Amino acid sequence: MRGKDGYLELLFGKVYGSWKGHEKEALQTYDALMGTGDFRAYLAKGLFVKSMGKTDDASLLFDQVCRVMRQVSPIQSHPSMLSSSLGTCACA
């Protein structure tokens, strides 16, 4: 099921991620949305895996957020905003 602008999938990912025993479904939901090039999916998955203690995986996803956002809208004037929001970010 594809919701308008991916909001529904992001909500499903969040619900699955907070529902004990459904982490796999959360990851699958985010992965499916990542295929659309939506930076929010990378961000949501990064935050989710970071909450699971997988900081290296999260860092890679946060770097991908920067790359995808640069493709959509140049952010040269705002890299510090992303850097402070995501921790270490390759776009800073």
- pLDDT single digits (tens) 12-55: 999 999 999 999 999 999 999 988 888 899 999 999 999 999 99
Q: With bands split at pLDDT 50, 70 and 90, how would you rate the model's confidence at 80?
A: low
Yes or no: domain 4-86 corresponds to CATH 1.25.40: yes
**Res 44: pLDDT:** 94
Q: With bands split at pLDDT 50, 70 and 90, how would you rate the model's confidence at 71?
A: confident
pTM of the model: 0.75
**Res 35: pLDDT:** 82
CA atoms within 13 A on the CB side of 42: 17
pLDDT surpassing 70 at residue 56: yes
